[in-house]
């Protein structure tokens, strides 16, 4: 069971990482094609789209995954099918409603943004907004059956088609129809990606139903299931909203408070960009790895909780927490020690401020990853309101932390406030889990040994940086970063196998060859 959880988490983590990297590299050729003006139109279009998409999709897919897993654990396939169909219809209705709303609001939005040329780019996103919610419902169906490969493939397919169609359309229309229509072609790629992803999901769904049999339609309890879905989904949507607001605290406070501290307008603007646009995206890679574990954990916990299997539930919680920490602790330590080379490699001379922020902000990745994983566990246990309450406390810590720490510590104060905020959310979630399950936090295996191995890794990476000191420039920084990641990652993996703090299913997979460190003990 733990092995299945790890396999699902790994599949989703890899898919999340691949799609994030595709999205990052998409911006480079797009800017070369449409220029600064076209990129500004593109960037104007997406905030309204992502807001409405979040309102239409946050909560319901996770609710579908939760209740499908719960019903299947009780061998109630009729109810599982009813949950999926109701979720699909709700998501289809929400998608159509919000796509119409996007089309209607587009002129007001672009005027308020002082970007009238972005109107076509905004409206080109309406097909995507109509289709993505239905796509999310199908993903929830497969995740509820703990089949993570299909959603992962659909996620990568969506991103690949989005990028290919968006770039090709922008390149063709730029010289034929102008920059505004070229940027609209770039945003229309999201709709093309949604069509590709939905097509794959429909194919996989029909193939799956051939094995499971036709959908068992039972509508007697349809209204009751709809209410249960909504009551479960609303707290998750609120948590998503609070997290978005927490990320916007820096937008509202960093620049103003740095100027009050005496920074020039140019320095305050550059510091804000370094924190939110350069350092945080690198930290979010660590959180992305944990989010794969969270998505895989929710249906697994739901199934165990539904049949009151305390042993399976405890094993899943222990494995998920241990894996999250075993990945995020060395990743955060690596980001901190390699902050200089990585920031220079990605951002050039402008990366100096990002490196300063990253040395502290990296450690927020550990606590944010733990918060995401433990929130999924509570949601799987039918306690979706607790993560909302705990995240609201984290939001308060972030807001107060910025107000208190930024005036005295500058950019480091904002990074510390983020660290404390996610720390509060993670600790409160762990406390809630312990109160309800007696969950023993794996202090030695989950924290002490990974920290010790990470310190050894940091020393080795420091030696790499010392040995490569003569290398300079962005290319030299890239070589330093890659060597540091390779040497540090390999050493940490060896120590994890030798000291046996990696979860047993993962160790068994890695120790298939005889003679590897610790293999005798694991046999």
Look-up: residue for tokens 């959310």? Answer: 425
Higher pLDDT, residue 123 or 270? 123
Task: Give mean pLDDT, residues 190-207.
Answer: 90
What are the angstrom distances between the C-alpha of 284 and each of 17, 25, 33, 511? 10, 16, 27, 30
Residue 280 confidence (pLDDT): 81
Residue 522 confidence (pLDDT): 38
Residue 323 confidence (pLDDT): 84
CA distance 393 to 388: 9
CA distance 347 to 252: 24
Of 17-21, 219-223, 382-386, 391-395, where does the model show the most confidence?
A: 391-395
Whether 125 and 102 have beta carbons less than 8 Å apart is answered as yes
Higher pLDDT, residue 47 or 128? 128
Residue 515 predicted with pLDDT over 50? no
Provide the CA 179 distance to its chain's centre, in angstroms. Answer: 32
Residue 27 predicted with pLDDT over 70? no
Q: With CA atoms as reference, report the closest residue to 320 among 493, 441, 436.
A: 441
Q: With CA atoms as reference, report the closest residue to 255 among 401, 402, 397, 357.
A: 402
CA distance 110 to 476: 42
Q: With CA atoms as reference, report the closest residue to 379 among 141, 66, 147.
A: 66
Residue 512 confidence (pLDDT): 62
CA distance 37 to 258: 29
Q: Would you place residue 520 in the very low, low, confident or very high pLDDT band (cuts 50, 70, 90)?
A: very low
pLDDT, tens digit (0-9, with 9 covering 90-100), for 405-448: 988 888 888 889 999 999 999 999 999 988 888 777 778 888 89
Higher pLDDT, residue 433 or 77? 433
pLDDT, tens digit (0-9, with 9 covering 90-100), for 444-485: 888 899 999 999 999 999 998 888 888 888 788 889 888 998
Token pair for 314: 């405890």
Residues whose CB falls within 8 Å of the CB of residue 349, separated by 6 or more in sequence, listed in order: none
Residue 523 predicted with pLDDT over 50? no
Higher pLDDT, residue 116 or 333? 333
Over the Cα atoms of the chain, what is R_g?
24
Buried b (16+ CB within 10 A) or exposed e, 290-300: bbbbbbbbbbb
Residue 189 predicted with pLDDT over 80? yes
Residue 391 predicted with pLDDT over 80? yes
Rounded to the nearest integer, the mean pLDDT of the chain is: 81
Based on DSSP, count helices (H) and strands (E) in the chain, helices before strands.
21, 0
């Amino acid at each position: 069971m733990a092995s299945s959880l790890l396999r699902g988490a790994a599949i989703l983590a890899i898919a999340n990482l691949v799609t994030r990297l595709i999205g990052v590299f998409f911006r480079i050729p797009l800017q070369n094609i449409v220029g600064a003006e076209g990129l500004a139109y593109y960037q104007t279009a997406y905030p309204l789209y992502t807001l409405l998409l979040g309102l239409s999709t946050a909560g319901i897919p996770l609710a579908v995954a939760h209740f499908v897993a719960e019903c299947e654990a009780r061998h109630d396939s009729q109810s599982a099918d009813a949950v999926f169909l109701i979720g699909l219809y709700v998501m289809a209705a929400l998608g159509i409603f919000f796509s119409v709303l996007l089309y209607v609001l587009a002129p007001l939005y672009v005027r308020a943004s002082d970007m009238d040329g972005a109107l076509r780019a905004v409206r080109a996103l309406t097909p995507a907004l109509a289709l993505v919610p239905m796509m999310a419902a199908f993903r929830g169906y497969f995740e509820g059956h703990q089949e993570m490969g299909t959603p992962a493939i659909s996620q990568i397919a969506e991103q690949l088609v989005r990028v290919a169609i968006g770039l090709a359309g922008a390149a063709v229309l730029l010289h034929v129809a102008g920059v505004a229509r070229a940027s609209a072609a770039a945003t229309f790629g999201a709709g093309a990606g949604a069509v590709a992803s939905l097509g794959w999901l429909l194919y996989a769904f029909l193939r799956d139903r051939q094995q499971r049999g036709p959908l068992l339609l039972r509508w007697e309890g349809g209204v009751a299931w709809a209410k249960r879905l909504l009551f479960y989904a609303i707290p998750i949507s609120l948590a998503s909203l609070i997290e978005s607001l927490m990320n916007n605290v820096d937008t509202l406070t960093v620049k103003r408070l740095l100027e009050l501290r005496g920074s020039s307008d140019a320095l305050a603007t550059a510091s804000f960009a370094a924190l939110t646009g350069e350092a945080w995206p690198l930290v979010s890679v660590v959180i992305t790895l944990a989010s794969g574990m969270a998505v895989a954990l929710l249906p697994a916990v739901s199934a165990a909780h539904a049949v009151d299997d305390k042993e399976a539930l405890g094993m899943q919680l222990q494995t998920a927490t241990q894996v999250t920490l075993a990945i995020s602790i060395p990743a955060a330590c690596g980001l901190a020690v390699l902050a200089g080379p990585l920031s220079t490699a990605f951002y050039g001379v402008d990366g100096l401020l990002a490196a300063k922020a990253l040395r502290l902000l990296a450690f927020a990745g550990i606590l944010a990853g733990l918060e995401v994983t433990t929130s999924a566990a509570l949601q799987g246990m039918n306690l979706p309101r607790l993560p909302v309450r705990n995240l609201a406390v984290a939001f308060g810590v972030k807001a107060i932390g910025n107000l208190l720490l930024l005036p005295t510590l500058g950019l480091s104060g904002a990074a510390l406030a983020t660290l404390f905020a996610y720390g509060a959310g993670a600790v409160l979630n762990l406390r809630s889990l312990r109160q309800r399950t007696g969950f023993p936090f794996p202090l030695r295996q989950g924290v002490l040994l990974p920290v010790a191995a990470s310190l050894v890794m940091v020393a080795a990476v420091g030696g790499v940086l010392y040995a490569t000191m003569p290398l300079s420039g962005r290319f030299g920084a890239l070589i330093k970063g890659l060597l540091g990641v390779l040497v540090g990652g390999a050493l940490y993996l060896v120590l994890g196998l030798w000291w046996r703090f990696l979860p047993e299913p993962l160790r068994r997979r890695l120790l298939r060859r005889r003679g590897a460190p610790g293999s005798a003990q694991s046999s």
